[in-house]
Amino acid sequence: MSVMSRNNVKVQGSGPQTILFAHGFGCDQNMWRYVVPHFDKQYTVVTFDHVGAGGSDLSAYNFDKYGTLDGYASDILEIGQELGLSGAIFVGHSVSAMMGVLASIRAPGMFSKLVLVGPSPRYIDDGDYVGGFTKEQVVELLDFLDSNHMGWSQAMAPAIMGNAERPELAEELTNSFCKTDPEIAKHFARVTFTSDNRADLDKVKVPSLILQCAQDVIAPEAVGHFLNGRMPDSKLVLMKATGHCPNLSHPQETVASIRSFLDA
């Protein structure tokens, strides 16, 4: 199968520089729909679905390949190679942020800048490192998902989205979680919440923007400061946006933050 169909790759705009948007766990490229229209006049914009999500080819899901974030980074590199990307901009939300970090290290020159929205190199606390979850909490979270995918989705989506005064946002995220194949969701969640990419951060050689939301239960503020301290050429922006999905809840601030970084 082609890379383009495997990952349901969409290309729009015709600008000289390309921006590639990558979605987070339990979502698909539709999560960027409020952001993309602000860039497709000036840039060529690429969106896609991780294998196992959205309109991707589910038959391509391989539990061994996607047993680490490297498998997803390989897909990003294959998309970049297929499109002939050079000096492109990578925008990754949540777990996709670390996929972009890995891809940029493995293919120097493909990306000239990284935009990391709600990133985390490790979700589990470790000594002085604050990831936001204890090991016991992650085990409990994954056990809950294993036993009740639907119930987990309905319980977790509102907490992840935040912005309780706008319940339609949590409802959309819940529906997105519920659409994901349960076995793939369980596997991807385990890979996500047990990942540790702290040792990769100082290998990033391109300018990077870290967008840190307030009241983010997935990536607390301490994580943003940790990334900023470990990534050599990084800028941390503490957003007014709350929750973990500012691309949905606060698209205008998200767009403005990205534009300010790219235009600097």
Would you name the residues annotated as active-site residues? 94, 216, 244
DSSP assignment letter at 47: E
H helix or E strand, kind and range, residue 212: strand 208-214
Burial-class residue 68 by CB neighbours within 10 Å (0-12, 13-18, 19+): middle
Position 26: which residue type? G
Q: Are 133 and 124 in contact (CB under 8 A)?
A: yes
Q: Are 97 and 91 in contact (CB under 8 A)?
A: no
Q: Are 196 and 184 in contact (CB under 8 A)?
A: no
Q: Are 132 and 218 in contact (CB under 8 A)?
A: yes
Of how many residues is the chain composed?
A: 264
Strand partners, 45: 12, 19
Question: What backbone torsions phi and psi does residue 199 show, to the nearest 5 degrees?
Answer: -70, -15
